[in-house]
Amino acid sequence: MLNPGDRLGDWVVEARLGSGAMGSVYRCHHMVTQLTKAAVKVLDASVVGEGSPWFLREVGALERLRHPGIVHIRNPGVDEKRGLFYLAMDLEEGETLKDLLSIGAMPVYRVCRLFGAVAEALAFAHSNRIYHRDIKPSNIMVRPDGSPVLVDFGIATDLDATAESDGNEVGTPSYMPPEDRKSTRLNSSH
């Protein structure tokens, strides 16, 4: 776990935003200017060997996807002292769809607008042969203007990648595509 003030390349940690099966995401600012903010995903040192293909897959997917409904990559890096891989992305302000749904039901017009935009982002990713594979409320950020952005491409499938799957697919069971549920190692976090 990183602490406020720790550095990852040119990024200075401000606070931890959350964590998942493979690592944590931190709110950071650039060391030259505190105005430049990023969400920096850090692969846990304990899973660097087994998690590296997933990390590299996410970097590759996000480098190819430039769409207003998909989080933008800034730069990947390695902290050699700590043995950590990290990925800086645009810091998306707002709340996750999961947080918004916990407040209560949304008006139908808002749901239609939100899911129409999510479908557009997914169609763009699919047209680039990238499949997110873990679309769930906690992986959809809703900006203050109401527009959604897809985050966490950590288990995305890139149909153009040359690396074959190792058979240890992961995902959230209730959100996985049916074709991935047959032979997968399931992540029980929601």
Catalytic residues: 134
| Gap between the Cα atoms of 87 and 133, Å rounded | 19
Supply the DSSP string of the chain, one letter for each residue.
Answer: ---TT-EETTEEEEEEEEE-SSEEEEEEEESS-TT-EEEEEEE-GGGHHHHHHHHHHHHHHHHH---TTBPPEEEEEEETTTTEEEEEEE---SEEHHHHHHH-PPPHHHHHHHHHHHHHHHHHHHHTTEE-----GGGEEE-TTS-EEE---TT-EETT-SSPP-S-----GGGS-GGGSTT-PPP---
| Region label for 83, one of left (φ > 0), alpha (ψ between -120 and 50) or beta (otherwise) | left
